[in-house]
Amino acid sequence: MNAIRSLTTKTPAAIALGCAMLLAAGCGALPDKPARATLYDFGPGPAASASAPAPATLPTLSLAEFESNSRLEGTQILYRLGYADVNELRPYGQSRWSLPPSQLLRQRLRDTLSERRMVLGPEEAATISRGRGEAPDTLRISLDEFSHYFDSASASTGLVRLRATLVRTTSGGDRVLGQRLFTVRRPAPSADAPGGVKALVAASDAAVAEVVQWVDQLQQQQPRQ
């Protein structure tokens, strides 16, 4: 009874103060706003070599849209624990690619190829072939692996695996000039998302360089008649 009387006899100022204290306590218990994910891309890319041939010294090439499995179509940065469960792809929580890896890698490949030749997209190549009756060779890429791979808790690499197919369209139909699987690893400087990004960009640049060299050799060995 005394407690009830005490509550009912409190002044409005005291009641207001008590409510303010409860409100402050409640606000302090609210969760923080979710942290924004850090976005990564491939950066500006390596500078063109001063000794590289002038543009358009090699045959025009059509670069198809990349194919990839459904897990690589998103923007998550993925890693594998090879020492625990090699079959499980796991995403980093607060890190993302700015675009799906296949798009970032295709842009890097197109930029590099363009240093020595004209590179067309599928629609551009189709327009040219309709106009002159001869389609340029088409490079098709399937991206099969793109992950930060952990051999142990302290040792990891950026792992890129892709399959390249060079196709020539002739009056008798499409002819495969060559097909090759490229697997490239580059060491990661740290066992986290930033380290994985650096390793994957380095592995991607190395894979691009190998693909470009391979395409150049195939077209030089099998020129159009």
Residue-wise pLDDT for 144-165, tens only, equals 999 999 999 999 999 999 999 9
Domain boundaries, the chain: 1-30, 38-221
Neighbouring residues of 199: CB distance < 8 A, sequence distance ≥ 6: 148, 156, 157, 158, 186, 187, 188, 189
CATH number of 38-221: 3.40.50.10610
* pLDDT tens digit sequence for 156-194: 999 999 999 999 988 778 899 999 999 999 999 999 999
Give me the torsion for CA of 77, 81, 85, 89, rounded to 10°.
10
Helix (H, G, I), strand (E, B) or coil at 151: coil
* pTM beyond cutoff 0.85: no
Name the least confident of 14-28, 143-157, 209-223. Answer: 14-28
